[in-house]
Amino acid sequence: MKNTAKTAIHFTDNYLLNPTNPISVNLIGAGGTGSKVLTALMEINESLIALGHAGLQVRLWDDDVITSANLGRQRFFESETGLYKSVALINRINRCIGTNWKAETVKFEKDKFGRIPEKARAIITITCVDNVQARFGVAEILKEISYRRHYQDEPKYWLDFGNSQDTGQVLLSTIGEIKQPNSEKYQTVASLPFVTDEFGELLKQSEQEDNTPSCSLAEALEHQDLFINSSLTQVGCSLLWNLFRRGMTEYKGFFHNLKDFRTHPIKVA
């Protein structure tokens, strides 16, 4: 008997494919992964514009200042030490391609009165944070802003990058349900769970006890393989690019192991 199980597919939110304005993106974290994701977003932006799309409007969040330990593994130069990471990177991108992207020199978190940051709303949120608590904080903010109906910059997707020394994962979540077209061919999936809901326990277990900042590049390399950030970035941003280019995805992320060069995709259902 023929197996009639349909392939599960998530169709990209329609506004991402035909926007009237550039798609707003909040990129949280400007370190080893975030600095490289920003470069990939620049490439996606330029490619989308060449295809007649409105492109991206990125806001980079990081309250960290560049130190000599960041040189080499991250996208920084010696002349930039002492500057905010977010400002140095955004200035460079804007000069390079003439965009008007923005830098925030604060953490993406609630203030001491429980208020959400003013520019927290974006159609796509991308997290490149180095601790689990920050992820749970972002999840809380995204849930809260998704309840406030408000047509501009309606939050749609959350893409989370995370890694340890030589392994990592990238996961795509929807913020609420994304309206799916009727399909005879595919089983459509409207909602992709938050990484904190689906893998929350796993994230907490995997968090290393030692989260001290590295004082030198040599010390930083003890904590993280030289190419784990960039290999995660390329595959993860390819997932994002496919959402725009193909308008659909069978996968919502992957587990990645640089030690034995394996990447294991995660299906949407």
Read off the CATH number of the domain in which 142 is found. Answer: 3.40.50.720
Number of domains in the chain: 1
Q: How far apart are CA 37 and CA 89, in angstroms?
A: 11
Low-confidence residues of the chain: pLDDT under 70: 1-4, 149-151, 206-222
- Sign of the CA dihedral 12, 258, 62, 129? positive
The answer to whether position 122 is within a domain reads yes
The answer to whether position 130 is within a domain reads yes
- Contact (Cβ atoms closer than 8 angstroms) between residue 169 and residue 182: no
The answer to whether position 3 is within a domain reads no
Q: Which domain holds residue 71?
A: 8-267
pLDDT in tens, 190-229: 999 999 999 888 777 766 544 545 555 566 656 778 899 9
Q: What is the CA radius of gyration of the chain?
A: 18
Which two structure tokens, joined as six digits, stand for 73?
């593994």
The answer to whether position 87 is within a domain reads yes
> Which secondary structure element, helix H or strand E, spans residue 134, and what is its range?
helix 132-147
The predicted pLDDT at position 146 comes to 84
The predicted pLDDT at position 210 comes to 44
Q: How far apart are CA 268 and CA 172, in angstroms?
A: 9
The predicted pLDDT at position 3 comes to 59
The answer to whether position 182 is within a domain reads yes
